[in-house]
């Protein structure tokens, strides 16, 4: 279930709008010692770097370059080695030693989706090698968070089978000059060798035997999260992947079907091969854990008890095959992906006085096996992380001597690592529970809802063909054609598809439409009335006498059609006049209008200037608005300054600022990570009734993310949000009553909340509503 991502309309109490995006975040237990200097510490760090500059070679002498040891020849470690090898010829890297733990090597059915910004950093020769290996362009262009390139300039993501990619990387690394492949796991002995050889950079890139050495070397600081911090527990999500080979599959149709629901996902790695993924409920995850290769073959080729759990799981896999047109005989190996959602607050340890090494975590060492799949997720995210670290180490100020590290490059890499984590882990009521709820009481409306969503997906793809690879756009059928080719599916399958919700891009488009409708309603109070005309005349007289307050009130009347004809141009004129006279609330409202193009073209920099002026005079909402613009890169991004402004507004008890500051502290974005304080602030915002905070906090309690797991408390928070009219909270509470999690199992109560959410246009809820009159409304 995707959280809505509304537009940032800014705060302005007189404009009656506050639309703050739900910025999903992750909570972490905090290992000791692995921290990167904050911005205010950079000057002292730079001074220390200058103090050792006498030890650098003089001008004209070759630089020694970085010596790197990579513990773990995983896909991520090999990718990093390949990128660093390109720096050897430039004397930016002196040597790379990579350790291969052969015992942990196993076939991986995952798909690595190489983003355009990652592809752009590859050596030209390796791009040609990947072209020979083979890839498929299936997913849309995506604006990268830290890229300065526009959407139109990005390359399409490329799907590559991780097994083939790893073999190509191994071949490349073995032949690369200056790269040594050590056929054993990294160990404490090898660590001492690294120190003796003056290795300046150590990277842990797997979670196998090399991490045991990490425990020994760093006294278990890196190897595991601290387990006794608020008894942190997060529900794992699982998915099941099945390799397939099939001729004649339609790429466009398969992509549209994958985008319209999240139960199944078809990832191509070649014209007629790829991986079919299926999201699992918690119960299905337990069944899947029993699937050995022998049982898998038995299910495929022999009959078994119709009602056995594994047989039901096999039937659900077959439904996915029918949906996409994959013949069952084309299925191959199977693998279960289980997300370990415990991540690290920092992925970097910089050199200390008593040690020369900069240490980094990547791939499985930073995040264990991921159940996430799709563009920018899973193995693709790990490649993005390795590319980020390579850029940091190859930057002009990279490690030259043991005392020198490019602080800015490391900080940028750290931020990208946290962004990747937040992208993969969305705080919400678990998708597995939502699917389980849908399977428990299949609805007759489920098929219609899925088809409605599919129609919207096809329309979305057709309206923006430039965002999609040429082959996807070329092979995409129209909706009626696609619908006619859909096979008959069971009620259980339709229920799972409906409950799973659409892929986030489509959910965001639906949320945008809802926000547009809400904005139109909020800014329109019905037009002229007798009382309004009288108020207009009275205010105009006061305006003529120079009253800034009257100018503001008259401007707001025009903007909101409150007793007068809507006229945003007139509204802007009067609000601007009041702002220029120094009226604080008018400054904030003027900034909101400029930010969102209300009665005037959008002018972000000018909006920021008005927020700045009002904020400097203590206006909390203006402080929050400017912080949000800085945070969301509506103007040049400055996370740390944005956090400072959130802090000021939060001190004035502004609940939106408390919520956003809490998210920043949970993620460590723009401020040192402090999960406990972050949760306290989010609790404060929820106590004031902020719907986003109520839902987010409920999701945290449901999954145990940042707090001790308490499903009863989660239900209470969802109920508060539901009673405030939040459709996502209403739907979530309905799911909990459907499955009896944290509340008594009660179909009538579940239907009550599903109907409430469905009445507000929430598609997932519409799929869960049974025929009117079958169940009485519940309180």
Our measurement of the distance from residue 162's CA atom to the centroid of its chain's CA atoms, rounded to an integer in Å, reads 22
Q: How far apart are CA 524 and CA 518, in angstroms?
A: 10
List Cβ neighbours of 270 (8 Å cut-off, separation of 6 or more): 134, 136, 161
Q: What sign results for the dihedral spanned by CA atoms 487, 491, 494, 500?
A: negative
Give whole-number Cα distances, 724 to 14, 523, 692, 700, 729, in Å: 21, 20, 11, 19, 9
Q: How confident is the model at residue 469 (pLDDT cuts 50, 70, 90)?
A: very high
Whether the predicted pLDDT of 13 surpasses 50: no
Q: How many CB atoms lie within 10 A of CB 271?
A: 13
Phi, psi of 15 (to 5 degrees): -90, -5
Whether the predicted pLDDT of 545 surpasses 90: yes
Average pLDDT value for residue range 2-29: 32
Domains of the chain as residue ranges with CATH = 64-224+344-424 (3.50.50.60), 238-338+431-509 (no CATH)
Whether the predicted pLDDT of 678 surpasses 50: yes
Give a three-class secondary structure readout of 145-207: CCCCCCHHHCCCCEEEEHHHHHHHHHHHHHHCCCEEEECCCCCHHHHHHHHHCCCCEEEECCC
Parallel, antiparallel, or unpaired for β 238-245 and 273-280?
Answer: antiparallel
Enter the tokens of residue 54. Answer: 């006498």
Q: How confident is the model at residue 717 (pLDDT cuts 50, 70, 90)?
A: very high
Q: How far apart are CA 132 and CA 126, in angstroms?
A: 10
Whether the predicted pLDDT of 343 surpasses 70: no
Number of alpha carbons in the 13 Å side-chain half-sphere of residue 770? 18
Average pLDDT value for residue range 638-660: 94
Q: How far apart are CA 620 and CA 598, in angstroms?
A: 22
Q: How far apart are CA 755 and CA 769, in angstroms?
A: 6
Q: How far apart are CA 143 and CA 125, in angstroms?
A: 26
Q: What pLDDT, on a 0 to 100 scale, did the predictor assign at position 728? A: 87
pLDDT in tens, 190-245: 888 888 888 888 898 887 676 666 666 665 544 444 333 333 455 667 889 999 99
Given a contact cutoff of 8 angstroms between Cβ atoms, the answer to whether 432 and 341 are in contact is no
| pLDDT higher at 697 or 404 | 697
| pLDDT higher at 579 or 140 | 579
Whether the predicted pLDDT of 55 surpasses 50: no
List Cβ neighbours of 559 (8 Å cut-off, separation of 6 or more): 15, 523, 566, 568, 571, 572, 575, 593, 598, 599
Q: How far apart are CA 600 and CA 244, in angstroms?
A: 54
Candidates 161, 118, 162; CA nearest to 142 is 118
Enter the tokens of residue 430. Answer: 């678990």
Q: How far apart are CA 328 and CA 487, in angstroms?
A: 14
In this structure, the dihedral spanned by the alpha carbons of residues 723, 22, 25 and 202, taken in order and rounded to 10 degrees, is 170
Strand partners, 240: 278, 336
Given a contact cutoff of 8 angstroms between Cβ atoms, the answer to whether 123 and 174 are in contact is no
Instruction: Tell me the percentage of the chain whose pLDDT exceeds 90.
Output: 40
* Ramachandran class of 255: left when φ > 0, alpha when ψ lies in -120 to 50, beta otherwise: alpha
| pLDDT higher at 655 or 340 | 655
Q: How far apart are CA 719 and CA 437, in angstroms?
A: 18
Given a contact cutoff of 8 angstroms between Cβ atoms, the answer to whether 41 and 136 are in contact is no
| pLDDT higher at 512 or 364 | 364
| 3-class state of residue 680 by DSSP | helix
Q: What pLDDT, on a 0 to 100 scale, did the predictor assign at position 440? A: 81
- Least confident stretch, 67-81, 135-149, 513-527: 513-527
Q: What pLDDT, on a 0 to 100 scale, did the predictor assign at position 110? A: 83
Instruction: Tell me the percentage of the chain whose pLDDT exceeds 70.
Output: 76
Average pLDDT of the chain is 79
């Amino acid at each position: 279930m995707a959280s809505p991502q509304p537009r940032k309309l800014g705060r302005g109490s007189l404009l009656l709008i506050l639309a703050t995006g739900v910025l999903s975040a992750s909570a972490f237990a905090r290992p000791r010692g692995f921290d990167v200097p904050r911005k205010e510490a950079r000057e002292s760090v730079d001074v220390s770097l200058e103090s050792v500059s006498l030890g650098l070679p003089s001008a004209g002498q070759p630089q020694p370059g970085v010596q790197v040891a990579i513990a773990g020849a995983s896909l991520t470690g090999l990718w990093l080695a390949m990128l660093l090898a390109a720096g050897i010829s430039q004397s930016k890297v002196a040597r790379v030693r990579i350790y291969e733990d052969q015992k942990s090597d196993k076939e991986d059915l995952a798909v690595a989706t190489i983003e355009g910004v990652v592809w752009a950093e590859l050596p030209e020769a390796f791009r040609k090698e990947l072209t020979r290996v083979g890839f498929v362009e299936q997913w849309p262009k995506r604006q990268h968070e830290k890229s300065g390139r526009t959407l139109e300039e990005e390359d399409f993501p490329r799907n590559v089978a991780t097994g083939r990619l790893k073999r190509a990387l191994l071949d490349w690394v073995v032949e690369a000059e200056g790269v040594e492949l050590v056929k054993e796991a990294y160990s404490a002995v090898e660590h001492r060798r690294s120190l003796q050889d003056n290795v300046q950079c150590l990277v842990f890139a797997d979670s196998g035997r090399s991490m045991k050495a990490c425990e020994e070397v760093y006294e278990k600081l890196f190897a595991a999260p601290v387990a006794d911090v608020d008894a942190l527990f997060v529900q794992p999500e699982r998915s099941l992947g099945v390799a397939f080979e099939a001729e004649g599959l339609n790429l466009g149709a398969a992509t549209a079907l994958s985008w319209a629901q999240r139960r199944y996902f078809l990832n191509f790695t070649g014209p007629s091969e790829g991986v079919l993924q299926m999201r699992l409920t918690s119960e299905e995850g337990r069944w899947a854990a029993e699937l050995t290769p022998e049982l898998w073959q038995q299910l495929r080729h022999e009959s078994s008890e119709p009602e056995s759990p594994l047989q039901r799981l096999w039937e659900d896999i077959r439904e996915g095959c029918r949906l996409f047109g994959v013949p069952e005989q084309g299925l191959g190996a199977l693998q279960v992906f289980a997300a370990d959602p415990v991540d690290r607050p920092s992925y970097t340890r910089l050199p200390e006085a008593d040690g020369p090494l900069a240490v980094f975590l990547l791939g499985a060492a930073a995040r264990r096996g991921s159940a996430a799949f799709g563009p920018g997720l899973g193995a693709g995210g790990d490649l993005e992380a390795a590319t980020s670290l390579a850029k940091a180490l190859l930057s002009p100020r990279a490690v030259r001597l043991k005392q020198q590290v490019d602080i800015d490059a490391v900080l940028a890499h750290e931020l990208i690592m946290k962004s990747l984590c937040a992208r993969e882990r969305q705080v919400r009521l678990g998708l597995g529970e939502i699917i389980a709820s849908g399977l428990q009481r299949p609805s007759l409306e489920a098929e219609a809802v899925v088809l409605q969503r599919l129609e919207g997906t096809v329309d979305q793809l057709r309206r923006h063909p430039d965002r999609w690879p040429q082959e996807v756009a070329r092979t995409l059928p129209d909706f009626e054609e696609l619908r006619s080719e859909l096979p008959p599916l069971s009620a259980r399958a339709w229920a799972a598809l409906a409950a799973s919700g659409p892929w986030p891009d489509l959910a965001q488009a639906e949320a945008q439409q809802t926000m547009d409708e809400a904005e139109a309603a909020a800014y329109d109070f019905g037009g002229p009335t007798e009382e309004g005309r009288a108020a207009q005349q009275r205010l105009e007289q006061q305006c003529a006498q120079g009253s800034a307050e009257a100018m503001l009130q008259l401007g707001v009347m025009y903007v909101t059609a409150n007793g007068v004809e809507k006229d945003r141009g007139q509204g802007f004129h009067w609000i601007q006049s009041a702002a220029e006279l120094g009226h604080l609330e008018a400054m904030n409202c003027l900034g909101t209008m400029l930010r969102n193009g209300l009665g005037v073209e959008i002018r972000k920099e000018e909006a920021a200037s008005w927020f700045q002026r009002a904020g400097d005079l203590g206006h909390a909402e203006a402080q929050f608005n400017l912080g949000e613009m800085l945070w969301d890169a509506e103007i040049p991004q400055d996370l740390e300054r944005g956090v400072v402004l959130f802090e000021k507004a939060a001190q004035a008890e502004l609940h939106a600022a408390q919520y956003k500051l809490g998210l920043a502290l949970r993620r460590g974005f723009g401020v040192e990570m402090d999960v406990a304080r972050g949760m306290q602030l989010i609790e404060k915002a929820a106590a004031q009734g902020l719907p986003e905070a109520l839902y987010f906090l409920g999701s945290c309690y449901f999954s145990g993310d940042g707090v001790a797991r308490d499903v009863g408390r989660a239900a209470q928070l969802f109920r508060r949000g539901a009673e405030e009219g939040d459709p996502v909270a209403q739907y979530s509470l309905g799911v909990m009553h459907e499955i009896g999690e944290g509340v008594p199992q009660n179909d009538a109560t579940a239907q009550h909340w599903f109907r409430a959410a469905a009445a507000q246009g929430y598609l997932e809820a519409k799929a869960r509503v049974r025929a009117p009159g079958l169940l009485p409304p519940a309180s």
